[in-house]
Amino acid sequence: PMGGGKGGSDFDPRGKSEAEVMRFCQSFMNELFRHIGPDTDVPAGDLGVGAREIGFMFGQYKRLINRFEGVFTGKGFNWGGSRMRPEATGFGATYFLQEMLKTKNQSLEGKTVAVSGFGNVAWGVVQKVGQLGGKVVTISGPDGFIYDKDGVVGAEKVEYMREMRASGRDRAQDYADKFGVEFHAGKRPWGVKCDIAMPCATQNEVDENDAKALVKSGCKCLCEVANMPLTLEAMKVIIESGILYAPGKAANAGGVGCSGLEMTQNSMRMHWASEEVDQKLHGIMVSIHDLCRQASEEYYGKSDNYVGGANIAGFKKVADAMIDQGVI
């Protein structure tokens, strides 16, 4: 139901006090408020922007226009946010992955998954992969990655990922120290033997050599969860290898999908239970997966070209709307 875009600032919150972050967010909103609204553009969180920053901006927006609207998503649950919003991107990508595997008569049961990052996105993936029977064996940070042969599973480990993020230390080694697992300083997890790779950290985190390492390690499926985590060279290696490949523009839509659900709850003045949000999110991701396959089949003669299918399905939706509305 929504389009999408990107925007932000070059303010780096690292090393800043909470008061400094708040003053920046308020100043930013003093200008941005003219350009946003529930029926125009709706900002949400991303890199460096979590519930705290959304709260500061939302509070200033309310002071400026004196209205409560669903104009921000990713809000705190106590002031208009939705259940499951923090983990929605990771949950959604895992649902997309599940649908891909179904087309090959497979499931996540018993699969080992290499994940990068340890923020909200990776946290969501770890939870949902575990619920569906898989095992995440790596998470990473700027300092390197950990390898947990028993899997990042169980309430204690999953909850500790949240504590790591909240600490602001940005160190994957903390997990290794607490649970006594392997830590590989200054390295990325893509050489680890795995069935599935799910990059969850940042743009261009997987380069050509990483992609070759994944192929060599026996990876059979790669699902982009971060925004554009593969370089063009890495993408070429993955596609040519025949690895089942889900592009982020489709697979990571769970975050914006849940943003839409948050806006719906705001407009209805309601809060849905986590189970209801999860059910609706699952339906959104199944629909996106099916649209990709349909476009792939129609234009490429095969249904598993998810990159081409996602590109064409997205383009056609915009182009058809423009034509129908008399723009061209």
Catalytic residues: 6
How far is 177 from 229, CA to CA, in rounded Å?
Answer: 28
Q: Which residues are CB-contacts of 206 (< 8 A; sequence separation ≥ 6)?
A: 188, 190, 197, 199, 214, 229, 230, 231, 234
Taking phi over 0 as left and psi of -120 to 50 as alpha, with beta for the rest, 117 belongs to left
Q: Give the CA-trace dihedral at 314, 226, 286, 240, to 10 degrees.
A: 70
How far is 238 from 223, CA to CA, in rounded Å?
Answer: 11
| Residue appearing with tokens 């929605």 | 88
CB of 190 closer than 8 Å to CB of 197: yes
Closest CA to 58 of 48, 69, 47: 69
| Residue appearing with tokens 């709850």 | 265
